[in-house]
Amino acid sequence: MEEEYKQAIVLRGDIKMSKGKAAAQAAHAAVEAVLIILDSDNPIWHKWLREWRREGQKKVVLKARDEKELLELFESAKRLGLPVSIIRDAGRTELPPGTLTAIAIGPAPAPLVDRVTGKLKLF
């Protein structure tokens, strides 16, 4: 059986963002995670990225309770050796500068991503 790959984007659920702002923060996190892979010398991450693209770039957008949980998820993904991005808002529109808004984990094998995000609810 072929392995499935995905990317999980996690947004904070405790801050008020418009739908457009949330979409932009999710996009920032997704793109940054891919750029981190492309800038890395990690051949496993590069393989995961190729397979994820071949499979159609599955993504899921999830919700963290607050900044503390988002940071815990970020650290958990790093400990598992997964590519992970973290996004802090520039503060030009709705949020104060430096507000932690989102992370993206992967693309990576779905079971590894699920070890970090499997208990989260959809955004």
% pLDDT > 70, the chain: 99
Question: Residue 84 has what pLDDT?
Answer: 98
| CA dihedral sign of residues 111, 115, 119, 123 | negative
Question: Residue 1 has what pLDDT?
Answer: 62
> What fold characterizes domain 5-122?
Bit1 (3.40.1490)
What is the C-alpha to C-alpha distance for residues 7 and 106, in angstroms, rounded to an integer? 5
Residue 14 has pLDDT above 70, yes or no: yes
Mean pLDDT of the region 3-12: 97
Question: Residue 66 has what pLDDT?
Answer: 98
Question: Residue 2 has what pLDDT?
Answer: 76
Mean pLDDT of the region 41-70: 98
Q: In Å, how far are 37, 77, 95, 98 from 92, measured between CA atoms? A: 28, 29, 7, 10
List the domain boundaries for the chain. Answer: 5-122
pTM above 0.85, yes or no: yes
Higher pLDDT, 1 or 77: 77
Residue 85's DSSP bridge partners are: 104
pLDDT tens string 73-102? 999 999 999 999 999 999 999 999 999 999
Q: Mean pLDDT of all residues in the chain?
A: 97
pLDDT tens string 55-68? 999 999 999 999 99
Q: How far is CA 26 from the centre of its chain?
A: 8
